[in-house]
Amino acid sequence: MIKTGYFFSIWGLLSLLLFGCAYKFVDEQKQTIFIEINNHSLGLRMGPLTDREIRKALLKSGNLTFCEERQKADLLLRIEIMDHRAVPESYNSQDTVIASSFSINSSFSITWQDRYGKTILSEQHSENVSALSQNAQSTPSDQQARATLANQIASATYMSWRKLP
């Protein structure tokens, strides 16, 4: 009876170690990505903001690393920010100069290429974000709106990456 229990204990422990554990003994191959962001719009600092947000979004996948040299990368990610406009949403009826809120409309493209320059996936996007003034005496700031827009571009990029074959 003791020998049978001992056998099942060892068999269970070995089964757990070999088959039931999520630990992988072999490291998966990580893809390296080179990111190129071209800001052709009037959005100030949209390139660095977008680059930071994209890196944060793609790092969450766990199997990507970033490369500073294009020739060494497995994938090239090219973001083209083409348009960036602030459009007033509402005005103070007593004042024709100060807008109490505005919307930033931006269009951009996401292109993924392999290491040989062949386009794997290309998408066009447009995003809108709003900025409100803190109070009646202040004008709205676009700093938070630009950060939100960069975050939306990063989210679209991550979803685009998930579509890659």
Domains identified in the chain, total number:
1
pLDDT of residue 48: 92
Per-residue pLDDT at 57 exceeds 50? yes
The pLDDT > 70 percentage for the chain reads 70
Where do the DSSP E strands lie in the chain? 31-39, 64-66, 75-91, 99-114, 119-132
User: Are 87 and 105 contacting, i.e. CB atoms less than 8 angstroms apart?
Assistant: yes
The pLDDT confidence band at residue 26, using thresholds 50, 70 and 90, is very low
Q: What is the mean pLDDT of residues 150-162?
A: 93
The pLDDT confidence band at residue 165, using thresholds 50, 70 and 90, is confident
- Give me the domain span that covers residue 47: 27-162
| CATH of residue 144 | 3.30.160.150
pLDDT of residue 143: 79
- Residue 15 forms part of a structural domain: no
Per-residue pLDDT at 23 exceeds 90? no
User: DSSP label at 72?
Assistant: G
Cβ–Cβ contacts within 10 Å for residue 104, how many?
Answer: 20
Distance CA 125, CA 58 (A): 18
More confident residue, 118 or 144: 118
Q: Which residues neighbour 123 within 8 Å (Cβ) at sequence distance 6 or greater?
A: 109, 110, 111, 156, 160
